[in-house]
Amino acid sequence: MRRVTLMSPGKEAVLSSAKIADGRMVAEYYIPGPSGVRRWHFLTVTDLSTGQRLDTLRYQDSESTGVGLVCYRNQTFDFMGYADGHLRVARAVSH
């Protein structure tokens, strides 16, 4: 058995979700704040074979990325979500 410990990107950051694909884990964190206010979110990519963090993306929004990670490729995260009766695709690019 191999264990990987995720390190929070910030003291106040709370783990919201994690997805695994192709030997990598994408974890979404957020910093709690008042309802309806834009808050900071973090996405981290960790290589599960080494435990090394490969990338971190920080963004500010009032909601999370959605229900599921569709793909992570070339420093681009694609997510699918469902809100207000509509399917939503969100793309986030790290620099």
Instruction: Answer whether residue 25 is part of any domain.
Output: yes
**What is the average per-residue pLDDT within 50-56?**
89
Range of the domain at 29: 14-93
Write the CB contacts of 47 (distance below 8 Å, at least 6 apart in sequence): 23, 24, 54
Helices (H), ranges, 1-95: none
User: What domain count does the chain have?
Assistant: 1
Hey, what are 58's tokens?
A: 């920080």
Looking at mean pLDDT, say which of 17-21, 32-36, 71-75, 81-85 comes out highest.
17-21
Question: pLDDT tens-digit profile of 23-42?
Answer: 888 888 988 877 767 788 88
Taking the model in full, what pTM does it have? 0.70
Instruction: Answer whether residue 88 is part of any domain.
Output: yes
**What is the average per-residue pLDDT within 52-73?**
72
Burial letters 39-71, b for 16+ CB under 10 A, else e:
bbbbbbbbeeeeeeeeeebbeeeeeebbeebbe
The span from the CA of 33 to the CA of 81, in Å, is: 22
Instruction: Answer whether residue 66 is part of any domain.
Output: yes
Instruction: Answer whether residue 9 is part of any domain.
Output: no
Half-sphere exposure of 13 (CA within 13 A, CB side): 20
Instruction: Answer whether residue 67 is part of any domain.
Output: yes
